[in-house]
């Protein structure tokens, strides 16, 4: 079966005692590597950093997307670009007053520019710089806190963004992130999402054997979206 949704794997969730194997295995199969960068301030938890990014870049061939859940992300763009990230995705509310400056910084570093929005953040806040973006990440839950139930209203938000993308003749990716699991794939694809971020509920929790867990993820995405048409 064809897999209609792209997968961005949250590789910071990998078993550190099996890290190289899991990174290499995922790199052969995923569309993106997703790096959750957290500082304990913008969100209340911590994630991976530039050292982790640099440690895996030598064995990663797929795009590495640094999801910057941090305050003052513009201070660290060059750090993560030098560490190997090829896509940089700060949060819209943090860069609100310097959005175009930040996007230009990202592109001057030779990276693709994304932006992430928490559920309460309106699409209107990014409307006028959408033409400069390569990706918009819509959070299905508040960033940085695991185990939250998905906010179902985000399907409508995705559809609204997909229609706006079409109306403006743009081609940025629409990514859905947060509490991802197989019950969401059909609705996300129908709404207009192009890519989903796979963390523990979507991947690692599938099976103790990592390679089997990955195959379950692939099968779930393909099966759940089979025959589903875009609905926006």
Residue 161 near residue 126 (C-beta atoms within 8 A) = no
Of the chain, the end-to-end C-alpha distance in Å amounts to: 23
- Burial group, residue 229, by CB count within 10 angstroms (0-12, 13-18, 19+): exposed
Count other Cβ atoms within 10 Å, centred on residue 159: 18
Q: Which residues participate in catalysis according to the annotation? A: 36, 177
Q: Helices (H) and strands (E) in the chain — how many of each? A: 7, 8
In degrees, rounded to 5, the angle at the alpha carbon of residue 156 between the alpha carbons of residues 151 and 162 is 125
Q: For residue 106, which phi and psi values (nearest 5 degrees)? A: -60, -45
Q: How far is CA 185 from the centre of its chain?
A: 14
Handedness of CA 29, 27, 34, 124 (dihedral sign): negative
Return d(Cα 38, Cα 143) in angstroms, integer.
10
């Amino acid at each position: 079966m064809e897999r209609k949704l792209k997968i961005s794997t949250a590789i910071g969730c990998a078993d550190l005692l099996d890290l190289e194997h899991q990174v290499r295995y995922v790199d052969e199969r995923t569309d993106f590597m997703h790096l959750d960068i957290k500082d304990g301030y913008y969100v209340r938890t911590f994630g991976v950093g530039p050292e982790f990014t640099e440690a895996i870049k030598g064995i990663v061939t797929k795009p590495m997307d640094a999801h910057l859940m941090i305050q003052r992300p513009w201070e660290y763009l060059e750090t993560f670009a030098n560490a190997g990230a090829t896509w940089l995705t700060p949060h819209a509310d943090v860069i609100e007053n310097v959005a175009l400056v930040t996007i230009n910084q990202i592109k001057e570093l030779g990276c693709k520019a994304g932006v992430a929005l928490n559920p309460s953040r309106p699409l209107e806040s990014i409307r006028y710089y959408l033409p400069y973006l390569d990706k918009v990440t819509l959070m299905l839950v508040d960033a940085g806190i695991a185990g939250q139930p998905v906010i179902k209203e985000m399907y409508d938000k995705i559809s609204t963004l997909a229609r706006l993308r079409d109306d403006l003749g743009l081609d940025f990716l629409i990514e859905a992130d947060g509490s991802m699991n197989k019950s969401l794939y059909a609705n996300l694809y129908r709404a207009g999402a192009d890519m989903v971020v796979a963390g523990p509920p979507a991947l690692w929790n599938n099976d103790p054997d990592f390679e089997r867990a990955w195959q379950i993820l692939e099968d779930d995405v393909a099966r759940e979206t089979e025959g589903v048409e875009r609905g926006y």
